[in-house]
Each structure stands twice: as C-alpha cells, then as structure tokens.
C-alpha cells in the first residue's frame, strides 16, 4: 500500500520541488489541500481546493484521518493555524503531550541526533519535560536506536539552584532513575559536554554521556528553535521534524526549509507510521 501524503497549504513550487521528486520513488500518493488552483503532474496527485488557510488546515486533518497509512505535511501555512486544527480534533490529538522531534544529520561527520522541542512547547515544566523525553525516546526506538543517550541541556553540567533549566533537568533525571527505561538519561548538561567528547574530557565530566548524546532536550522553545535554525542555516546538515503524540505522523517543516529538508521530513514521518 502506498503512503498517502496530505499537504496542508501546497503551492505550485512545492509540487515541483517536493511532490514530483517523491513520485519518482513510486511509493507515495498525494492529496494537496490548497487555496490555489494547482497544475497536477499525474493521477496519484489529487487537489482539494478551499478558500481560506483555516479551511486548509481543517480539511487536511479530515483527509489524513480517513486515509490509511498516511502522514500530514505542513506546506505554506502558518504553524499556529495548522496546529489549531490538529489540537481540536479528538481523532488526531491524543491525551498525551504533543511535541516536535527534529532529526539532525551532520553531513561531514555523518553524525545524527534528535532535538526537542523547537516548535510547540514554549516553557515546559518538569512534568512536560518528562513527556518530551518519552516522546523523543519513542522516536529513537522507531529509528532503531538501542539504549539511546539523552541529555537534558542547560548552560551548566552541575546542579545550580539559581538556574531553572538545571533544576528542572535534575528533577527529570531523578524521575527516570525511579522509572525503568532503556536509555541513559543525564542532566543538566552543557551543550559542549553533551556533544563534544574533547570538551567532556577536559571538563572532567564523569557521567556516561561523554560528548556522544543522541537526544538533546532543550530547556525551552527559544533555545531549541535557535539551535535548530542555527544548524540548519549555518552548517552542512540535513534537518527534518515530526510531531509525536498524534495518531498520524505530522511532518512540521519551516516554510523556509529547503526542498531536500521537506523531502527528508516526509521520509522521517513515514518511518513513524505504526
């Protein structure tokens, strides 16, 4: 069975740069929900034309729910508009926390790690960060990571009661120490200790994460989003993001992402299909 990709807010440029290349792989079919009259390349692509972006979001959610083996891809639509339709639909939105997990692949070193949450949860408290960790670990498991190393980021790698992110990280770690899990979870950790073995050694960090974290949990949306966009725009890497906690995988790309990033997001979301 082919994967149905429902694009909320498709335009002609997206058809040329994302839809047409993916059609060549012969395992996708598309439903484009748009305010525009689009020229379609072939029969595996259908158009649902509506009048407003609000209707785009609502219609895309309706289509993806009724389509087996499907994913939802954000096109030229504001994230807030799409999420409003997602969060108000009980068939798509579960009771659990919804978060975005971004996969970042560094081209030169071939290193890969997951980052959360650069898109949804603004200032997560300790309970929310526990859920962010669980969502990220679910993605790691589906990607085949065994006993992944998860770092709760802060500006320090020791507990400083005056730094809220450090306190929250320590509380999350304490929770997982009492809860059976197949992961190594440490924090607070500074970015260099979490990702650079040389820095971890020079700072004398004694934990199991020695610059080789596979999952990075940022303190808040600002820090996660800045890190995501810094890597995406200033380094040679491939980024792709997916929403976790919904009944259907949602590829939540930025409108400024490259066509390759959007294609990667489709494939990342496809790997999350149960």
| Rounded-to-integer distance, Cα 13 and Cα 265, Å | 17
Q: How many domains is the chain partitioned into structurally?
A: 2
Are residues 153 and 265 both part of a single domain? no
Rg (CA), the chain: 19
* Res. 135: pLDDT tops 90: yes
Give the residue numbers spanning the domain of 4: 1-94+246-274
Are residues 107 and 228 both part of a single domain? yes
pTM of the prediction? 0.89
Are residues 43 and 103 both part of a single domain? no
Question: Which class for 68: exposed (0-12), middle (13-18), buried (19 or more C-beta within 10 A)?
Answer: exposed
Q: pLDDT digits over 158-202, tens only?
A: 999 999 999 999 999 999 999 888 999 999 999 999 999 999 999
Are residues 266 and 207 both part of a single domain? no
Are residues 206 and 173 both part of a single domain? yes
Q: pLDDT digits over 26-59, tens only?
A: 999 999 999 999 999 888 999 999 999 999 999 9
Residue 126 in tokens: 């300790």
| Rounded-to-integer distance, Cα 124 and Cα 134, Å | 14
* Res. 95: pLDDT tops 70: no
What mean pLDDT value characterizes the chain? 93
Q: What is the pLDDT of residue 94?
A: 67
Are residues 178 and 264 both part of a single domain? no
Residue 91's contacts (CB-CB under 8 Å, 6 or more residues apart) are 65, 247
Phi and psi at residue 136, to the nearest 5°: -65, -40
């Amino acid at each position: 069975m082919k994967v149905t990709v429902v694009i909320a807010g498709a335009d002609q440029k997206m058809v040329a740069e994302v839809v047409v290349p993916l059609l060549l792989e012969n395992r996708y079919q598309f439903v484009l929900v748009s305010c525009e009259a689009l020229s379609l390349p072939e029969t595996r692509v259908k158009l649902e034309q509506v009048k407003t972006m609000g209707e785009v979001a609502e219609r895309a959610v309706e289509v993806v729910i009724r389509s087996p083996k499907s994913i939802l891809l954000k096109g030229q639509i504001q994230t807030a508009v799409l999420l409003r339709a997602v969060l108000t639909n009980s068939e798509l939105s579960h009771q659990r926390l919804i978060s975005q997990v971004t996969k970042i692949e560094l081209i030169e070193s071939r290193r890969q790690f997951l980052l959360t949450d650069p898109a949804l949860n603004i200032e997560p408290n300790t309970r929310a960060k526990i859920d962010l960790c669980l969502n990220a670990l679910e993605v790691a498991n589906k990607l085949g990571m065994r006993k992944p190393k998860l770092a709760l980021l802060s500006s320090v790698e020791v507990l400083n009661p005056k730094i809220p992110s450090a306190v929250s990280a320590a509380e999350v770690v304490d929770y997982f120490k009492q809860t059976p899990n197949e992961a190594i979870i440490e924090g607070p950790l500074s970015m260099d200790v979490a990702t650079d073995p040389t820095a971890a050694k020079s700072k004398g960090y004694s934990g199991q994460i020695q610059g080789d974290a596979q999952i990075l949990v940022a303190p808040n949306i600002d820090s996660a989003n800045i890190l995501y966009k810094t890597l995406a725009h200033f380094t040679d890497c491939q980024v792709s993001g997916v929403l976790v906690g919904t009944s259907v995988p949602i590829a939540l790309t930025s409108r400024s992402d490259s066509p390759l990033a959007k294609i990667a997001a489709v494939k990342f979301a496809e790997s999350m299909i149960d």
